[in-house]
Structure 1
Amino acid sequence: MTLSLLHVQPATGTVAALTATGGVAVGGYVHHAWRGIGACATQGLATNPWYPDTLRAALSQSDSAGQALAQAVSADPGASRRQCLVMDRQGRAAVHSGADNLPVIAARCRPTVAAAGNMLADAEVIEALLRHFLEQACVNAEAAWREVESPRYRADYEALLPEMLVAALEAALAVGGDGRGTRSAALRVESFSAAPIDLRVDWAEHPAVELRALLERVREPTFADFLASLPLR
């Protein structure tokens, strides 16, 4: 029903999340990003809106993504209906895909970036999502994709993270996206060096197009100057 990508940069504490689904208002329910701590996407046949509280508390105590996820899943009697992707501050990822989720289900995890989805048009959707992000952000994209090396990021990539997330979503939708069609999309970038960017398209025929248009408005000088004036802590 949903596809998501998480990225954590351990060197700076920047965290990013991208999500899209065939339903309404995905940004309000699925992904959560906490600078310097980590991120999660709670999705599946039915999302669990209480996972983020458990996950953030565990990640804040320096638990690994796997430890945090195990804690959330073990306390959930409906875990078979969940898919949850978690990344900790060191960029380690963990994923749970319950047995009751509808195919196609897929997940791809690399150090510092991971993607997962369910009820997909094809498993290639998640591959396209992750691979396109690597191609934009990394100097060793092919080696990172093949898991020969950990991703090594371009020096200036964080400045264009929102654009990279939108482009990765466009690549994923080009090979199918959500099996029902994709109707809502959202992204969030949390950083210690800039104000958060939190964009949501809650219902649209072409949500990636709308998300890009919204980002272009955010980048316009008037609003960009406003964001730059905000306190960082």
Structure 2
Amino acid sequence: MFGIGIATSAVAVGNRCPWVKAGVGAVTTQHRTDTRAGPIGLELLTMGCSAAETVRVLSETNDFPGERQFAAVDKEGRAAFWSGPEIECLNAGHAGDGCVSTGNFIANTGVPKAMVEAFEASSHLVFAERLLAAVDAGLEAGGETKPIMSAALLIAHRESWPLVDLRIDWAQDPHVELRKLWDFYEPHQERFVKQVLTPSDLTLLADSPMNV
């Protein structure tokens, strides 16, 4: 699986910043977010570029690279990030074993490292919960200097569409609400795959609002 857990003080973070593709990797675009960079980064990874090469191309070809943050994980688990030198707020990034974190407008430069360490230390959890644990750790380490108002969880597995694509927008404590949404969604995720691939195998779930 490839996935991204993310939270910010701005609205609609899940629509702008995280990008994943099954069997290929993950890309984030942050600070003065260039949404165009997400699909470009995934295409570079699809072509066989490493995470480092992908981040380098994104930073070298962007029209305002000094104001951007990019990060990537490739199919080999290699990770890389870029933080532009013109970013005026406190920012940092940290790459770990098959994971990477970047942040801006953060309370201290240790926030991304705390997220990576939490992800690495939670290998006993399912993948989605490792990502959520990393977000929680980043917030506990100081988070952003402003209250976060949106959060998202995006995961690709085997199919061409996301296995998980959950978002909380413009809410107090969106990371808490995101975890509640994940807890509700988890038992249904495989059903939504089956209804695409083998719909005749499905049976109605009694009293479930998810029978669609």
Q: How many residues align?
A: 197
Instruction: Tell me which residue corresponds to 2:205.
Output: none
Counterpart pick for 1:229 among 181, 194, 207: 194
Tell me the CA shift for residue 31 of structure 1: 0.7
Q: Any idea what SS the aligned residue of 1:42 has?
A: strand
Instruction: Tell me which residue corresponds to 2:37.
Output: 51
CA distance in 2, matches of 1:224, 1:94: 30
- Give the superposed CA RMSD: 2.1
Q: Any idea what SS the aligned residue of 1:136 has?
A: coil
TM-score scaled by structure 2? 0.85
Tell me the CA shift for residue 63 of structure 1: 1.1
Q: Any idea what SS the aligned residue of 2:152 has?
A: strand
Instruction: Tell me which residue corresponds to 1:142.
Output: none
Q: Any idea what SS the aligned residue of 1:102 has?
A: coil
Identity of aligned residues (%): 28
1:208 aligns with 2:175: yes
1:162-211 Cα offsets, whole Å, 9 max, x none, are 12221221121122211112111101111128960111111111011100
| More deviation, 74-83/103-112 | 103-112
Which residues in structure 2 correspond to 1:124-139 (within 5 Å)? 124-137=110-123
Counterpart pick for 1:122 among 108, 111, 121: 108
Tell me the CA shift for residue 228 of structure 1: 5.1
Is the CA contact (8 Å cut-off) linking 1:195 and 1:227 kept in structure 2?
A: no
CA distance in 2, matches of 1:230, 1:100: 47
Tell me the CA shift for residue 15 of structure 1: 0.6
Is the CA contact (8 Å cut-off) linking 2:17 and 2:38 kept in structure 1?
A: no
Is the CA contact (8 Å cut-off) linking 2:19 and 2:39 kept in structure 1?
A: no
Instruction: Tell me which residue corresponds to 2:204.
Output: none
1:166 aligns with 2:132: yes
Q: Any idea what SS the aligned residue of 2:34 has?
A: coil
1:56/1:212 CA distance change after superposition, 3 Å: same
Tell me the CA shift for residue 76 of structure 1: 1.4
CA distance in 1, matches of 2:95, 2:192: 32
Counterpart pick for 2:158 among 167, 188, 192: 192
CA distance in 2, matches of 1:101, 1:197: 31
Structure 1 stretches of 5 or more lacking a match?
1-13, 138-153
Larger radius of gyration: 2
